[in-house]
Amino acid sequence: MNHRRPWDFWVASLILLITIILSVVAFVQWYNLSFFVGSLFFVHWLSIIGTAFIISLVPVYVVLKRTRARSFKKLLKIHVFGNLLAFLLVSVHFAQNIGRLVDFYFRLEYGFLLFLFLAVIVATGMIERFGAKLSFVRYVKPVHKYSVVVFYLVIIIHVLRSLAIT
Protein backbone atom coordinates (compact mmCIF):
# COMPACT_ATOMS: atom_id res chain seq x y z
CA MET A 1 0.00 0.00 0.00
CA ASN A 2 1.22 3.48 -0.82
CA HIS A 3 1.75 4.96 2.66
CA ARG A 4 1.88 8.54 1.42
CA ARG A 5 -1.72 8.30 0.22
CA PRO A 6 -3.55 5.69 2.27
CA TRP A 7 -6.86 7.43 1.57
CA ASP A 8 -6.88 5.77 -1.89
CA PHE A 9 -6.90 2.37 -0.23
CA TRP A 10 -9.62 3.35 2.25
CA VAL A 11 -11.86 4.88 -0.42
CA ALA A 12 -11.43 1.78 -2.59
CA SER A 13 -12.20 -0.42 0.42
CA LEU A 14 -15.28 1.66 1.22
CA ILE A 15 -16.55 1.29 -2.35
CA LEU A 16 -16.07 -2.48 -2.08
CA LEU A 17 -17.87 -2.55 1.28
CA ILE A 18 -20.79 -0.58 -0.19
CA THR A 19 -20.78 -2.98 -3.15
CA ILE A 20 -21.07 -5.97 -0.80
CA ILE A 21 -23.85 -4.36 1.25
CA LEU A 22 -25.90 -3.29 -1.78
CA SER A 23 -25.37 -6.70 -3.39
CA VAL A 24 -26.61 -8.52 -0.29
CA VAL A 25 -29.61 -6.20 -0.11
CA ALA A 26 -30.33 -6.86 -3.80
CA PHE A 27 -29.86 -10.62 -3.39
CA VAL A 28 -32.38 -10.90 -0.55
CA GLN A 29 -34.59 -8.46 -2.49
CA TRP A 30 -35.08 -5.87 0.24
CA TYR A 31 -35.54 -3.53 -2.69
CA ASN A 32 -36.62 -4.45 -6.17
CA LEU A 33 -34.87 -2.88 -9.12
CA SER A 34 -36.71 -5.06 -11.65
CA PHE A 35 -38.97 -2.38 -13.04
CA PHE A 36 -38.94 -1.38 -16.67
CA VAL A 37 -37.13 1.65 -17.97
CA GLY A 38 -37.79 1.57 -21.66
CA SER A 39 -37.49 -1.97 -22.93
CA LEU A 40 -35.21 -3.29 -20.14
CA PHE A 41 -35.30 -3.66 -16.38
CA PHE A 42 -33.64 -0.83 -14.44
CA VAL A 43 -31.23 -3.31 -12.86
CA HIS A 44 -30.17 -4.39 -16.34
CA TRP A 45 -29.45 -0.77 -17.26
CA LEU A 46 -27.16 -0.56 -14.22
CA SER A 47 -25.15 -3.45 -15.59
CA ILE A 48 -25.06 -2.00 -19.10
CA ILE A 49 -23.82 1.35 -17.76
CA GLY A 50 -21.15 -0.32 -15.61
CA THR A 51 -20.00 -2.63 -18.38
CA ALA A 52 -20.01 0.17 -20.98
CA PHE A 53 -17.80 2.24 -18.68
CA ILE A 54 -15.35 -0.62 -18.27
CA ILE A 55 -15.16 -1.61 -21.93
CA SER A 56 -14.76 1.98 -23.10
CA LEU A 57 -12.41 3.37 -20.46
CA VAL A 58 -9.98 0.46 -20.05
CA PRO A 59 -8.54 0.80 -23.58
CA VAL A 60 -8.43 4.59 -23.16
CA TYR A 61 -6.51 4.13 -19.90
CA VAL A 62 -4.05 1.70 -21.51
CA VAL A 63 -3.30 4.10 -24.37
CA LEU A 64 -3.15 7.27 -22.28
CA LYS A 65 -0.89 5.82 -19.60
CA ARG A 66 1.69 5.22 -22.33
CA THR A 67 1.25 8.51 -24.17
CA ARG A 68 0.60 10.87 -21.24
CA ALA A 69 2.93 9.69 -18.52
CA ARG A 70 2.65 13.03 -16.69
CA SER A 71 -1.08 12.44 -16.15
CA PHE A 72 -0.60 8.89 -14.89
CA LYS A 73 -1.69 9.56 -11.30
CA LYS A 74 -4.98 11.12 -12.41
CA LEU A 75 -5.54 8.36 -14.95
CA LEU A 76 -4.89 5.70 -12.33
CA LYS A 77 -7.45 7.26 -9.97
CA ILE A 78 -10.06 7.37 -12.72
CA HIS A 79 -9.20 3.80 -13.66
CA VAL A 80 -9.36 2.44 -10.10
CA PHE A 81 -12.34 4.34 -8.72
CA GLY A 82 -14.32 4.42 -11.96
CA ASN A 83 -13.99 0.69 -12.42
CA LEU A 84 -14.86 0.02 -8.77
CA LEU A 85 -18.06 2.05 -9.18
CA ALA A 86 -18.80 0.19 -12.42
CA PHE A 87 -18.22 -3.08 -10.54
CA LEU A 88 -20.73 -1.87 -7.93
CA LEU A 89 -23.39 -1.42 -10.63
CA VAL A 90 -22.68 -4.81 -12.21
CA SER A 91 -22.63 -6.51 -8.79
CA VAL A 92 -26.06 -5.15 -7.86
CA HIS A 93 -27.42 -6.43 -11.18
CA PHE A 94 -25.82 -9.84 -10.70
CA ALA A 95 -26.96 -10.17 -7.07
CA GLN A 96 -30.54 -9.21 -7.93
CA ASN A 97 -30.60 -11.80 -10.72
CA ILE A 98 -29.17 -14.54 -8.52
CA GLY A 99 -31.72 -13.73 -5.83
CA ARG A 100 -34.53 -13.78 -8.39
CA LEU A 101 -33.32 -16.95 -10.12
CA VAL A 102 -32.55 -19.01 -7.02
CA ASP A 103 -33.93 -22.19 -8.57
CA PHE A 104 -32.69 -21.39 -12.08
CA TYR A 105 -28.96 -20.64 -11.74
CA PHE A 106 -28.30 -22.32 -15.08
CA ARG A 107 -30.04 -19.37 -16.79
CA LEU A 108 -27.16 -17.09 -15.79
CA GLU A 109 -24.84 -18.67 -18.40
CA TYR A 110 -22.43 -16.05 -19.73
CA GLY A 111 -23.56 -13.49 -17.15
CA PHE A 112 -22.01 -15.70 -14.48
CA LEU A 113 -18.74 -15.90 -16.43
CA LEU A 114 -18.73 -12.14 -16.90
CA PHE A 115 -19.18 -11.55 -13.20
CA LEU A 116 -16.55 -14.14 -12.34
CA PHE A 117 -13.96 -12.54 -14.61
CA LEU A 118 -14.90 -9.06 -13.45
CA ALA A 119 -14.43 -10.16 -9.82
CA VAL A 120 -11.00 -11.57 -10.73
CA ILE A 121 -10.12 -8.31 -12.48
CA VAL A 122 -11.16 -6.26 -9.44
CA ALA A 123 -9.33 -8.54 -6.98
CA THR A 124 -6.12 -8.60 -9.01
CA GLY A 125 -6.37 -4.87 -9.65
CA MET A 126 -6.67 -4.19 -5.92
CA ILE A 127 -3.65 -6.40 -5.25
CA GLU A 128 -1.65 -4.68 -8.01
CA ARG A 129 -2.58 -1.21 -6.84
CA PHE A 130 -2.42 -1.61 -3.06
CA GLY A 131 -0.37 -4.75 -2.42
CA ALA A 132 3.08 -3.43 -3.37
CA LYS A 133 4.82 -5.19 -0.49
CA LEU A 134 3.29 -8.59 -1.21
CA SER A 135 5.76 -11.04 -2.69
CA PHE A 136 3.35 -12.46 -5.29
CA VAL A 137 2.25 -9.16 -6.88
CA ARG A 138 4.38 -9.76 -9.98
CA TYR A 139 2.36 -12.93 -10.68
CA VAL A 140 -0.91 -11.05 -10.42
CA LYS A 141 -0.24 -8.63 -13.29
CA PRO A 142 -0.60 -11.21 -16.12
CA VAL A 143 -3.73 -12.65 -14.48
CA HIS A 144 -5.19 -9.13 -14.36
CA LYS A 145 -4.25 -8.35 -17.96
CA TYR A 146 -5.47 -11.61 -19.51
CA SER A 147 -8.65 -11.69 -17.44
CA VAL A 148 -9.53 -8.38 -19.09
CA VAL A 149 -9.02 -9.95 -22.52
CA VAL A 150 -11.27 -12.90 -21.64
CA PHE A 151 -13.81 -10.48 -20.14
CA TYR A 152 -14.02 -8.66 -23.49
CA LEU A 153 -14.48 -11.95 -25.37
CA VAL A 154 -17.25 -13.11 -23.03
CA ILE A 155 -18.99 -9.71 -23.33
CA ILE A 156 -19.08 -10.13 -27.10
CA ILE A 157 -20.55 -13.63 -26.76
CA HIS A 158 -23.03 -12.47 -24.09
CA VAL A 159 -24.27 -9.57 -26.24
CA LEU A 160 -24.55 -11.76 -29.34
CA ARG A 161 -26.53 -14.36 -27.35
CA SER A 162 -28.76 -11.67 -25.85
CA LEU A 163 -29.53 -10.35 -29.31
CA ALA A 164 -30.17 -13.94 -30.49
CA ILE A 165 -27.40 -13.68 -33.07
CA THR A 166 -25.59 -16.85 -31.99
The residues spanned by each domain of the chain are 6-162
CB 86 within 8 A of CB 14: no
Predicted TM-score (pTM) of the model is 0.90
The pLDDT value given to residue 6: 83
The pLDDT value given to residue 4: 55
Mean pLDDT by 10 residues, the chain (166 residues): 72 98 93 89 94 95 90 92 98 89 69 92 95 86 95 92 78
Say how far apart CA 32 and CA 134 lie, in whole Å. 40
The pLDDT value given to residue 121: 97
pLDDT tens digit sequence for 31-48? 888 899 999 999 999 999
